[in-house]
Amino acid sequence: MALFSTPRSARSAGERSTAWRWVLLPLLLLGPFLLWPVGAMLWRGLAPDGYFSFSLVEAVASDRYYWERLGFTVGQAGLSTALAVALGLPAAWVFAQVRFPLRGLLRAIVTVPFVLPTIVVALAFERLLGPAGWLARALDGVGVAMPTVEGTLFAILVAHVFYNVAVVIRVVGGVWANLDPRTLEAAQMLGAGRLRRFTAVTLPLIAPAVLSASALVFVFCFSSFGTVLLLGGGNPDLDTLEVVIYRLATRLVDLPAASVIAMLQISTTVLVLLVYARLQHRIARPVSLQPHRPRRLRDLSWSQRAFVVLVLLVIVGFVVTPMAALVEGALTVGNEGAVRLDNFTRLFQDTGNISFIPPWRALQWSVTFAGGAMLIAAVVGLAAGMAVARGRGLLATLTDGFLMLPLAVPAVTLGFGYLVTFNREPFDLRGSPWLLLAAHALLGYPFVMRSVLGPARALDPTLVQAARMLGASRPRAWLRITLPMISRGVFVGAAFAFAISIGEFGATLLLQRSEFATVPVAIYEALGKPGDANLGAALAMATVLMAVSAAAFLLIERVRYREVGEF
């Protein structure tokens, strides 16, 4: 009947005690690659003379500017999250419950923005919403003036939604698709109309997933950096804390101030994550998840069909058109408006310079790094998820918050931290691909952890006990029973880990050896020079990146066999 109906009392004390063992593996990654470098960096900033200087904190705390920035950062992250949820929920329903042509492809495409370097996204929005963009031309056709989008909060919100709507769709959709339809039918039989069914039954049941997605989106938007720099149009009112830290650290080299604000950012994020983990714990119920086939379009009522079409149109408008604008650019830039493949063929023409990055090599490195990071993230995230799922009470909440730290730490702080800690033999890892891999895995595993947590919490412990009674050792029982049952969660999270790695991260943060140049690096390389050939090549490369990522997501989707995940 119920796939995951867990009598809570069935958890034995013996299991609880294993939680700490699971933390060891994440610690192995977190310790050297997060805690140490970030700690060293912050210490360097906060205690320039070797002892902690409170006056620094005071100086920042008394500056209204930073508090304003904190307020704005929280505000825009909250707004972005609300918008992403508002758009993502209906889309999650459509993807989870309805079968329509190209459904799998569209779902893969919706996730693609995740991998796009910010500069590429900025270019896409310029070609779409800019003064000479598609929308402006369309509006011009009907005699309406295009309002300025650049440098407005609107531009940033749109970009944030573009990036993050996939998180909501996938995370919520995973649970929604597997809600037992009879629960809803039971509500209907008891007289609940469509709206009441949603508010009284569906919403409470998907609430944990919505909360999960919201927390992730919030943390992402909270630490938004590239998007603000590129779409903020230099408007100082749109600077987030992360941008402030970046400016302070990179140009003004005001490491003390940067460190204090980094602390502010980390503590705010951790606070949010802790509140989230607490809430999550309170509202999570063992929900009976029942995989079932989504309905066909023709089984829906007319109003439902209209709704599906509307939602898909909005999603396509939001997510697909910016990407289409990139493809259009790749096909037309430098061709006097004609559609030609010149920019793609150019990718393969060796300029004879060291800046030439063969596209196959770039792709190869991108996929290698992303694949490696995904593997590590999957293993570490699995352990992290087990640790939190097996833990209890406040300690579990704290562990949860602690293990989400990688998403809270400002990129600049981490990058500088690596520089100052991994600079002595035999641990001189600067410029080493291993460091890159570790950093990518660090950012990827929280996704795996979140998506493993749901199934791991809902797992019926009697199954493992049964296996042990049948003679399986503890590790064997885990391998044979627990792992297969939570593997779907691992796959969902791994897809995101892959996406994060293949995206821009690392291209600017860490030293990039030219022999390991990835696709985003190649894109940045091309955009660093003037001329149509370079812009065209960058857009062509971005198109290739989108295609490869979409294919990878389709593949990952094939591998996982059911879509259950909490996130």
Partner 1 sequence: MATLTIDGLQRAYPRDGFALRGVSFDVPDGHLAALIGPSGAGKSSLLRLIAGLDRPDAGDVWLADRNVTRVPAHRRGIGLMFQELALFPHMNVHENVAFGLRMARWRRRARNERVTEMLELVGLGAYASRSVDQLSGGERQRVALARVLAPRPEVLLLDEPLGAIDEERKRWLRSELRDVLRAVGTTALVVSHDLRDAIAIADDVVLMSDGHVLQYGPLSLVSRFPLTAEAASMLGYVTLLQGEVEHSAVRERGVGELGIPPEAGISGLMRVMAHPSTMLAVPDGRHLGSGLSGVVVAIRPDGPVPLLDIVVGTRHLEARWEWDLDAPRIGTVVEIAVRPDTLRFYGSAPVVVPSEPAVESDERVASSNEDAGDDEDAPRRSLFGNA
Partner 2 sequence: MRRFLMLPLLALLSAGLLACSSARDGAPTELKVVVHSSFDANKELIAAFEREYHAKVSFLKGGDANAVVNRALLNAGHPEGDVLYGIDNLTYPRVAGKGVFAEFSATRRTQIPADVREQFGDARDVTPIDYGYVALNFDKKAGTPPTKFEDLTGPAWRGKLVAEDPATSSTGLQFLATTVAYFGESGRYTWRNYWADLKANGVLVTDGWDAAYNKEFSRNKGSRPLVVSYTSSPAAEVFYSEGKLTEPPTANVLPQGAKLFRQVEAAGVLAGAKQPELGRKFIDFMLRDKFQEQIPETMFVYPVVSGIALPEWWKWAAVNVQPATLQVDAPTVDRWVREWTETMRR
Q: Which residues from 158-187 bind partner 1, rule CB under 8 A? A: 180, 182-183, 185-187
373 Cβ contact list (under 8 Å, min separation 6): 437, 440, 441, 444, 497, 498, 500, 501
- Pick the closer one to partner 1 by CB: 190 or 466: 190
- Pick the closer one to partner 2 by CB: 357 or 550: 357
Nearest distance from C-beta of residue 289 to partner 1, angstroms: 10
- Residues contacting partner 1: total by CB under 8 A: 29
Question: Should residue 420 be labelled a site residue for partner 2 when binding is judged by CB under 8 A?
Answer: yes
Partner interacting with residue 185 (select from partner 2, partner 1, none; CB below 5-8 Å by kind):
partner 1
User: Phi and psi (nearest 5°) for 196?
Assistant: -65, -35
**CA dist., res. 512 & res. 392, Å (int):** 42
Q: Note whether 169 and 107 are within 8 A (CB).
A: yes
Nearest distance from C-beta of residue 105 to partner 1, angstroms: 24
- Pick the closer one to partner 1 by CB: 6 or 543: 6
Nearest distance from C-beta of residue 266 to partner 2, angstroms: 20
Partner interacting with residue 180 (select from partner 1, partner 2, none; CB below 5-8 Å by kind):
partner 1
Question: Should residue 190 be labelled a site residue for partner 1 when binding is judged by CB under 8 A?
Answer: yes
**CA dist., res. 461 & res. 456, Å (int):** 10
| Member of 70, 109, 270, 287 binding partner 1 (CB under 8 A) | 287
Q: Note whether 22 and 390 are within 8 A (CB).
A: yes
Nearest distance from C-beta of residue 375 to partner 2, angstroms: 8
| Spatial CA neighbour of 377 closest among 511, 470, 491 | 491
By CB under 8 A, the residues from 253 to 272 that bind partner 2 are 253
Nearest distance from C-beta of residue 34 to partner 2, angstroms: 13
Question: Should residue 531 be labelled a site residue for partner 1 when binding is judged by CB under 8 A?
Answer: no
- Would you tell me how many other CB atoms lie within 10 Å of the CB of residue 166? 29
Question: Should residue 65 be labelled a site residue for partner 2 when binding is judged by CB under 8 A?
Answer: yes
Question: Should residue 362 be labelled a site residue for partner 2 when binding is judged by CB under 8 A?
Answer: no
Nearest distance from C-beta of residue 63 to partner 2, angstroms: 11
Tokens of 545: 């990146």
Buried b (16+ CB within 10 A) or exposed e, 347-380: beeeeeeeebbebebbbebbbebbbbbbbbbbbb
By CB under 8 A, the residues from 97 to 136 that bind partner 2 are 119, 122-123, 126-127, 130-133
Q: Which residues on adjacent β-strands are paired with residue 133?
A: none
Partner interacting with residue 141 (select from partner 2, partner 1, none; CB below 5-8 Å by kind):
none
Strands 98-99 and 295-296: parallel
Distance (Å) of CA 540 to CA 119, 323, 473, 535: 14, 12, 53, 9
- Pick the closer one to partner 2 by CB: 140 or 185: 140
Binding site for partner 1 (CB under 8 A): 1-2, 5-9, 180, 182-183, 185-193, 196, 200-201, 204-205, 283, 285-288
